[in-house]
Structure 1
Amino acid sequence: MKIVGLTGGIATGKSTVTNLIRQHGIPVIDCDEIAHLVTKKGKWVYKRIVRMFGSGFLKSDGEIDRERLGELVFKDAVARRKLNRATHPAVTLELAKQLLSHLLQCHSLVMVDMPLLVETGAYLLTWPRVLVKCDPETQVRRLVERDGCSKDLAQSKVAAQMPLEQKQKWCQYIIDNSGTRQSTEAQVKDTVWGLRKGLWWKSALQTPANIAVILIFAISGLVQR
């Protein structure tokens, strides 16, 4: 099973790209969705976050107010590290479980959508890697439209992330999502063709490596927990 990493910056359109990739029959593991899953009310990560940040970051229904917490960790690097320490073990364990599930289902290819793929070093456990990018002006405009924030705040959020040019050095496929949907669809089609090339004989050879990757994610999650 080929474990492909996918990453990008804020508001570059990763969701659009992963939806198109799914339409080609490739399963996608979304680490943002995993993070939402493991922080739901009653989960042990939820309890850890409440202990760390207090009940002031809860909504009326008791769930974590992700918007307020997100604003805090954007401004406060110490709080951001605390949140990462609280959530990373559970996310890593769930990722290992989902990878194992796909391996047992004999999937030849699975994609892991991880915004911090390069920053966390997880890129070393995936090959090849796909970067979704767009030009800075489009990125800021989309962020303003999506979040209803000011242009200055949008620019600050983009600037706070690792530059896409730096991430690009670690990626083998680049999808530029600055243009039309038709352009993006064509790039996704070409990328999928490249990813599937030679899968029929490589999949069996990659199984031992897959097991090693799953064990690394699982052990990492257990140790940090």
Structure 2
Amino acid sequence: MLVVGLSGGIAAGKSTATRQLIGLGIPVIDCDRVAHDTACKGAWGYRRIVAAFGPGILTETGDIDRARLGQLVFADAAARRRLNKATHAPVAVELLRQLLGHWLCFRRLVVIDMPLLFETGTYKLASSNVVVACRPELQLQRVMLRDSCSAADAKARIAAQMPLERKMQLADVVLENDSSLEQLQEQVLELVATLRKKSQSMKHWLLSPAGVAAGLLGVVLLGRAAWQSVR
């Protein structure tokens, strides 16, 4: 299974590329959705977040006040590290579970859409990593427009992430989103054609790091199910 990591800077166009990949029939694991689901009330991630920040971040109904939590972590690097520490393990387990499902279904190509792909080291699971990038001044304008915020707030949100230049250095492929939507779409089409050709090799299904990790997780889960069945 050829596993491809996809990341990018805030407002650089990663979500646009992801939607096109899905439209082309490429399986995509949305790690933002995974993080959201694992932080729902009662979930493992929820309990870890509440333990890290206290009940003050909860709404009256007991759900996590995501807007308040977001304000906390954007303004405080230490709080951001605390949140990442609380959520990384639940997200990683769910990511591997979904990879296992694709592996068992003999998928030849799967994309991991993850904003913190490089920060968390998840890029090491992938056979290839892609970054969607744009010029710094254009990124600033897009953040201000998208979030209806000041230049200072936009710069703070950009600074909260790993520098885009560093992500580009770590990536195998960079999609430049400095021009029109059509230009980005053409790059995505070329990328998909290359990845599909590469994924035809059976060794990617058997021996990719993510495939091996998913397989090992499958062995653990099957062993656990067998043990519980005889208890």
Give per-residue Cα distances to partners, 1:104-156, cap 9 Å, x unaligned: 11111000011111122221111211110111122112212222221111012
The equivalent of 2:70 in structure 1 is: 70
Alignment match, 1:203? 202
User: Cα distance 1:139–1:79, how it changes in 2: closer, same or farther (>3 A)?
Assistant: same
What's the counterpart of residue 180 of structure 1? 180
**d(CA) in 2 for partners of 1:134 and 1:7?**
12
Cα distance in 2, alignment partners of residues 194 and 205 from structure 1 = 14
Paired residue for 1:137? 137
Identity %: 47
Q: Which deviates more, 43-52 or 99-108? A: 43-52
Q: 1:168: which partner in 2?
A: 168
Equivalence for 1:12: 12
In angstroms, what is the RMSD of aligned CA positions? 1.9
Q: Distance in 2 between matches of 1:216 and 1:120?
A: 20
Q: Taking structure 1 as reference, are residues 110 and 132 closer, same or farther at Cα in structure 2, changes over 3 Å only?
A: same
Q: What SS class does the counterpart of residue 12 from structure 1 fall into?
A: coil
Deviation at 1:59, TM superposition (A): 3.0
Report the Cα distance in structure 1 between the residues aligned to 2:51 and 2:189, rounded to whole angstroms: 46
Question: Displacement, 1:5?
Answer: 0.7
Counterparts of 1:109 and 1:90, CA distance in 2: 24
Deviation at 1:35, TM superposition (A): 0.3
Cα separation, 2, equivalents of 1:132 and 1:84? 22
TM-score where L is the length of structure 1 = 0.89
Task: Report the equivalent of 2:92.
Answer: 92
Closer/same/farther in 2, CA of residues 155 and 104 from structure 1, 3 Å limit: same
Q: For residues 54 and 156 of structure 1, what CA distance do their matches in structure 2 show?
A: 25
CA distance in 2, matches of 1:92, 1:217: 11
8 Å CA contact 1:95–1:217 kept in 2: the answer is no
User: Is 1:45–2:63 an aligned residue pair?
Assistant: no
Report the 3-state secondary structure (helix = DSSP H, G, I; strand = E; otherwise coil) of the residue aligned with 1:178: coil
| Offset, 1:60 | 4.1
Number of aligned residues? 217
Structure 2 CA distance for partners of 1:25 and 1:83, relative to 1, 3 Å: same
User: What CA distance in whole angstroms lies between the structure 1 residues aligned with 2:7 and 2:130?
Assistant: 6
Partner of 1:33: 33
**Mapped pair 1:116 → 2:116:** yes
Describe the SS at the equivalent of 1:7. Answer: strand
Gaps of 5+ in 1: 219-225
Q: TM-score, normalised by structure 2?
A: 0.87
Aligned twin of 1:125: 125
Indicate the structure (1 or 2) with the bigger Cα radius of gyration: 2
Gap runs ≥5 in structure 2 = 219-231
TM-aligned CA deviation for residue 185 of structure 1: 0.8
2:107 maps to which residue? 107
Secondary structure of 1:169's aligned partner: helix
Q: Give the whole-Å Cα distance in 2 for the aligned partners of 1:198 and 1:47.
A: 41
